[in-house]
Structure 1
Amino acid sequence: MLLKSTFTPLFAAIVIPTKPNPTKLSFTAFCRNNSLTPQGTPTVRQNASPNTTSPSLLLQHKLPPTSAYVHLPFCRKRCHYCDFPIIALGSSSTTNTTTPEKNDTYDPRISNYVETLCREIKATKKLSSSTNNNSSPPLETVFFGGGTPSLVPPQLVSSVLDALSSKFGVCGNAEISMEMDPGTFDAAAMKELMNVGVNRVSLGVQAFQDELLKSCGRAHGVSEIYEAIEIVNTCGVENWSVDLISSLPHQTPSMWEESLRIAIQSQPTHVSVYDLQVEQETKFGVLYTPGEFPLPSENQSAEFYKTASRMLGEAGYDHYEISSYCKSGYRCKHNSTYWKNKSFYAFGLGSASYLRGVRFSRPRKLKDYVGYVQNLENESTEDGVVDFDVDAKDLATDVVMLSLRTAEGLDLRAFGEAFGDSVRGSICEVYRPYVESGHVICLDEKRRKVEYDEFIVSSMSNEMVGFLRLSDPDGFLLSNELISLAFAAISP
């Protein structure tokens, strides 16, 4: 699942990308494959678990990775909102089957890329614990993002998993996710993907109206969405997610409610909701200006977000992160890697790994990526595996940024122990007006709500306030502004 932040002021280095995201709204929606780096996008940081102690807050990013993101960049065509590094295969690639294409060979563009990808995996250094050089845990999550990974034949997906297992090891119960678009796979391919290890599907639906899908440049229609949902269900995929996009051109509130209603009726275990982000180098970037017709206004986009929060909440989905909802027990484990500031490997075109506090991006162009892998094999290029002393203020802003984008919120006690009570107190002070307005919620150590008067008395002493979180949906809608205030408190 790509993360991309619309919060830009303080970070300008390497990014963990996402799907469409608002530039006009004050909240950030995190997207699908969290390990790509679009050009010109600022850094997105990860957060710490609300139940960690100070050593883990300070050292979490230095632990050996247990997650890997794999970029499979193939698409039938580029969607009008997409600025990710992809390889457009054309209309000839429609439905993935378990058998090779004509003449018993795979599309050489896919097979050659997968071969290069496996070479990168093989040439990458395996990280071990700094305290025990022999300790290198196996992978607990693998995420195939794109692009449209479901265009890659299952046998080639298997070869990537084999390469990961050979190099790093993969747990027997690992969460192995794949992004899949309607119209790009059949039941036979789905079963074969399950046989090779894929056990979580992220279905790129986006909308349930043909006119909206067409206006976005999507290669599928609504009929193919229903077919894909039926395939997922009949094949017995237990853990699957639906992706939806709000604030599309000409999208009305009734259209958005219809998409949410049909998604809920389909009974996925997870739903991701993204607000459209208009990128300059895309077709939408040429055609539209955010906030101007036929795109919705800021207020209309905010209402879309509130509608999703209300309808999904009423349907029993837990709103556990700004753009993520799930049934009980079905949070995306791979995404938790990012939100807890854990290290992770990344492989493939344009992907960005996070190793020992350093984000390292691969080239976005195929020729440059092939050259990067060749240099990696010849040990003539850095692979991002370096020891790096992360600045405490940078790490503190990392923790705040993504902590406040989750339902758990910011663990104030652990934060104070790691970065100092004065910084913790400054954050509490700057949030006083927003606690009073209800945009920020205070919780005690047992996660019971602390009323405003009690917060004023106890916040500076750290006796009662255990966590700060943003309210849903109003606080989430102000997340960028509220996080900016915390940054100013950390680095006055």
Structure 2
Amino acid sequence: MLRSLRPTFLPPIHSFKIPKLPFIPMSSLRCPSTVCRNASTKIQPPSTPIPSSAYIHLPFCRKRCHYCDFPIVALGSSHSNTATDDPRITNYTNLLLQEINATVTDTNTPSIPLQTIFFGGGTPSLVPPHLVSNILDKLRCKFGIAHNVEISIEMDPGTFDAHKLNELAELGVNRVSLGVQAFQEELLRACGRAHGVREVYEAIDIVTGCTGLENWSMDLISSLPHQTEAMWAESLKCAVSARPTHVSVYDLQVEQGTKFGQLYKPGEFPLPSDNQSANLYKMASETLRNAGYSHYEISSYCKSGYECKHNQTYWQNKPFFGFGLGSASYINGNRFSRPRRMNEYTEYVRKLEDGMIKHDRINCEAKDMAMDVVMLSLRTAIGLDVASFCRLFGECLAVSLCKAFEPFVESGHVVFMDEERVKVSNGSRVAFIRLSDPDGFLLSNELISIAFSVISP
């Protein structure tokens, strides 16, 4: 049966990938003996419009954090938010503009003005506002920007002041994602963060004092080295007191090639054990829900109406543009990423301008599309829309999924709901399948692997 594991989440959307989770040995599962195989054929992806969301990767940081494996450019710890234009930033921005301009869209499909734009990194708040303005102007010229667009930017404490934030707000930035991570000085130092607790509170004051900018998110990380439940409770309390409209809570993932990857092994001291990590996740869910935040995605909480519209593009498996070093796109049923090294990315842009790179519409394996839909849906509070899944992949496969999950409805890890989103136990009335909060979310990898074993036996 299922075993208790640390929560495993998709990372913040810097370079989005669909991980193919490892299967659990079938001997350990109670799955149906007969599995529908009608997702084994190739299908043409349904017709989709040109993406209406764009992710812009701005890779600059003052230093690399000990847990970070994203493609970044370290400018140096002394780099300040008031520094004059750094040629590394200017040159990269020009390269980014070239990539956007060279992007080919489907001329047979009506274009849709961008509904969401997300500046991620890296630390985008290190980029001068006039360069952000140049990027927005290029996006507006190339794709158009909706009048009610959500424009998000990631910002780190100590990398911006009130003047810079006001400049960004005047450009149209209307959502800030503040990378706090922890409220303890010793934990911030252990992470290699370039800011301290004093800068955290200064940043919160700047964000909350910006006229017209009410939509802002705070990022926190759990399962850090030497982090105790008392420390985590304090960070959650401080987050709630700051009253952000959105909170993202990420469990530390120790990646190979990072400093943490060299120092630590997951589950071994000074990192929390798997059970301790699970407790931290439960604490976050309880604390934030009690404070009026909706747990709408496995690592995301928000006040009513403040879901991150851009990230919902990913969770709903909609197409999106990605621009910049290491970024990913999902266009015409095709997922592809840019190079993670600057020299290779520069060459990529050159070839794109010369027409040597094309991302044509492809035929997708139905089972791969089905696995993407299931994995993304089950990481949200809405869950899997069974009727929509039936239309795409057939009723037989949907029935097999329901049968596979029935034992976990009984154990409380999976929830079946009817069209009114009322819990049901009868498989014939199931309109939505979701994971329970927090126990089902905690075991999302295993539960999603069960679905994968049904889709691709």
The answer for the alignment partner of 2:364 in structure 1 is: 390
Of residues 148, 167, 188, the one that matches 2:163 is 188
Amino acid at match of 2:77: S
The answer for the alignment partner of 1:30 in structure 2 is: 10
The answer for the alignment partner of 2:116 in structure 1 is: 141
Of residues 34, 53, 56, the one that matches 1:70 is 56
The answer for the alignment partner of 2:401 in structure 1 is: 427
The answer for the alignment partner of 2:259 in structure 1 is: 283
| Residues 152-174 of structure 1, C-alpha deviations (whole Å, 9 max, x = no match) | 00000000001111111111110
The answer for the alignment partner of 2:296 in structure 1 is: 320
The answer for the alignment partner of 1:203 in structure 2 is: 178
**Preserved CA contact (<8 Å) 1:270 1:331:** yes
Taking the TM superposition and a 5 Å limit, the aligned residue runs for 1:86-97 are 86-95=72-81, 97=82
**Preserved CA contact (<8 Å) 1:411 1:468:** yes
Aligned partners of 2:391, 2:280: CA distance in 1, in Å? 39
Taking the TM superposition and a 5 Å limit, the aligned residue runs for 1:270-419 are 270-382=246-358, 384=359, 386-419=360-393
2:137 matched to 1:170?
no
**Preserved CA contact (<8 Å) 1:247 1:295:** yes
Q: CA RMSD in A?
A: 1.7
| Secondary structure of residue in 1 paired with 2:391 | helix
TM-score when normalising by structure 1: 0.85
Aligned partners of 2:266, 2:44: CA distance in 1, in Å? 39
Of residues 233, 236, 243, the one that matches 1:257 is 233
The answer for the alignment partner of 1:116 in structure 2 is: 95
Q: What's the CA shift for 1:300? A: 0.1
Aligned partners of 1:59, 1:175: CA distance in 2, in Å? 27
Q: What's the CA shift for 1:363? A: 1.0
The answer for the alignment partner of 1:20 in structure 2 is: none
Aligned partners of 2:413, 2:200: CA distance in 1, in Å? 37
**Preserved CA contact (<8 Å) 2:50 2:109:** no
* 1:26–1:389 distance in 2 versus 1, CA, 3 Å: farther
Aligned partners of 1:276, 1:333: CA distance in 2, in Å? 24
Aligned partners of 2:330, 2:423: CA distance in 1, in Å? 35
**Preserved CA contact (<8 Å) 1:441 1:468:** yes
Q: What's the CA shift for 1:43? A: 5.6
Aligned partners of 1:61, 1:108: CA distance in 2, in Å? 42
Structure 2, unmatched stretches of 5+, are 22-42
| Residues 361-389 of structure 1, C-alpha deviations (whole Å, 9 max, x = no match) | 1111111111111111111223x2x1112
2:448 matched to 1:483?
yes
Q: What's the CA shift for 1:60? A: 5.8
**Preserved CA contact (<8 Å) 1:60 1:342:** no
Amino acid at match of 1:319: H
TM-score when normalising by structure 2: 0.92
2:438 matched to 1:473?
yes
The answer for the alignment partner of 1:213 in structure 2 is: 188
The answer for the alignment partner of 1:47 in structure 2 is: none
Aligned partners of 1:317, 1:167: CA distance in 2, in Å? 37
Of residues 205, 209, 223, the one that matches 1:234 is 209
**Preserved CA contact (<8 Å) 1:245 1:276:** yes
Identity within the alignment, %? 63
Aligned partners of 2:312, 2:105: CA distance in 1, in Å? 21
The answer for the alignment partner of 1:266 in structure 2 is: 242
Structure 1, unmatched stretches of 5+, are 1-23, 45-56
Aligned partners of 2:324, 2:356: CA distance in 1, in Å? 18
Aligned partners of 2:449, 2:322: CA distance in 1, in Å? 29
* 1:317–1:58 distance in 2 versus 1, CA, 3 Å: farther
Aligned partners of 2:9, 2:194: CA distance in 1, in Å? 23
Aligned partners of 1:142, 1:326: CA distance in 2, in Å? 19
Q: What's the CA shift for 1:31? A: 2.9
Aligned partners of 2:143, 2:215: CA distance in 1, in Å? 24
| Secondary structure of residue in 1 paired with 2:141 | helix
Amino acid at match of 2:180: V
Q: What's the CA shift for 1:395? A: 1.1
* 1:42–1:61 distance in 2 versus 1, CA, 3 Å: farther
**Preserved CA contact (<8 Å) 1:36 1:350:** no
Aligned partners of 2:109, 2:87: CA distance in 1, in Å? 39
| Residues 398-445 of structure 1, C-alpha deviations (whole Å, 9 max, x = no match) | 111111110001111221232111111111111111011111111111
2:202 matched to 1:223?
no
Q: What's the CA shift for 1:26? A: 5.0
Aligned partners of 1:444, 1:123: CA distance in 2, in Å? 47
Aligned partners of 2:445, 2:169: CA distance in 1, in Å? 39
| Residues 225-259 of structure 1, C-alpha deviations (whole Å, 9 max, x = no match) | 00000000111321000000000000000000000
| Secondary structure of residue in 1 paired with 2:364 | coil
Amino acid at match of 1:91: S
| Residues 290-348 of structure 1, C-alpha deviations (whole Å, 9 max, x = no match) | 11000000000000000000000000000000000000000000011111111111110
The answer for the alignment partner of 1:152 in structure 2 is: 127
The answer for the alignment partner of 1:82 in structure 2 is: 68
* 1:42–1:411 distance in 2 versus 1, CA, 3 Å: closer
| Residues 173-208 of structure 1, C-alpha deviations (whole Å, 9 max, x = no match) | 100000000000000000000011111000000000
